[in-house]
């Protein structure tokens, strides 16, 4: 079990309610946020790869501060469903090595169906997997 900052909107990765998570290499430092729990879990070897969500550095900051590799990909390259579509949030892997991050990215990314939000946003669904919706 890991923790995340309230609302996921701080670059520190610290939450007052749970007192952490702290940097995996030095507990007197922060781990970065908001995907801090994912980055710390990977850095500690709990898992080789974790998924992060990034709207302003939330994959990149905790990955850099925790000494692991984070990949914030192009919007929509790794599709995920949201109640409200957003061009601010993207998902991506956090991994112990660049090779693991590349492998996870390859597995996570897929061809978008033509009616997916991102396919419609970028090209009307033409390249997303089929003809644009009627």
| pLDDT tens for each residue of 81-121 | 666 666 678 889 999 999 999 999 999 887 666 666 666 66
- Rounded CA-CA distance 25/33 in Å is 16
* 3-class SS of residue 103: helix
Query: pLDDT band for position 131 (50/70/90)?
Result: very low
Q: What is the pTM of this model?
A: 0.77
| pLDDT tens-digit map of 41-70 | 999 999 999 999 888 888 999 999 999 999
The answer to whether the beta carbons of residues 59 and 74 sit under 8 Å apart is no
């Amino acid at each position: 079990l890991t923790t995340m900052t309230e609302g996921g909107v701080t670059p520190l990765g610290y939450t007052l309610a749970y007192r952490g998570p702290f940097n995996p290499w030095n507990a007197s430092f922060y781990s970065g946020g908001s995907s801090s729990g994912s980055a710390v879990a990977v850095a500690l070897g709990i898992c080789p790869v974790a998924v992060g969500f990034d709207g302003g550095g939330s994959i990149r900051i905790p990955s850099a501060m925790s000494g692991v590799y984070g990949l914030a990909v192009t919007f929509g390259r790794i599709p995920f469903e949201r109640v409200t579509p957003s061009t601010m949030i993207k998902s991506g892997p956090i991994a112990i090595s660049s090779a693991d991050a590349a492998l996870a990215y390859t597995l996570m990314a897929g061809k978008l169906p033509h009616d997916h939000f991102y396919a419609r946003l970028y090209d009307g669904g033409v390249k997303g997997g089929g003809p644009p919706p009627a």
